[in-house]
Structure 1
């Protein structure tokens, strides 16, 4: 059971890497755009995160406050991706403040996972 949980953690990290990596590529190229890869990364990270939030195969108590904060940040990232994609379709680009917020919240979510014990 422990091995399966570690595999789900790996999938969760891959989702984060897809989301943040796709965002970083756009940031480095100074294209303030929301890509399909960002949406896929968010979806993978969200599904794997929800699976990890279930108390299966562990002998310790989960930190539900931390999980709740991470879920709120995840929903905020999803909302910003949705708003950014809609504005991109309408105007051709995403406002820079919205684009940078996506990256900052993604990094914040990873920081919460690592720092908050």
Structure 2
């Protein structure tokens, strides 16, 4: 009888643990899109000599994403571990590179980043807001 109670308690703990497990930060559109926008802006700022990133705006935007994650129950350490994780970086890159290519960017030609950056700035998109040029 004791083994049955112990097993039942263990199953209860496992089920409870699974029920409260947090979803990936990618599952939140605001975070997923925000990280994407920041990554695209960063690539443009690094590669186009006539456009740079707005560092204060970028920091403010990153803080807003962190604050949102915090409302979803994530700690600073969890968010930091997520954004520094190589697998998560690869997932983001797997979204960014096809987007850049679809917008006429040749990854090996820095000058092709500039027209995209100018379009984003002109549209006043979130990517454009993170850039100046």
Give yes or no for TM over 0.5. no
Larger Rg: 2
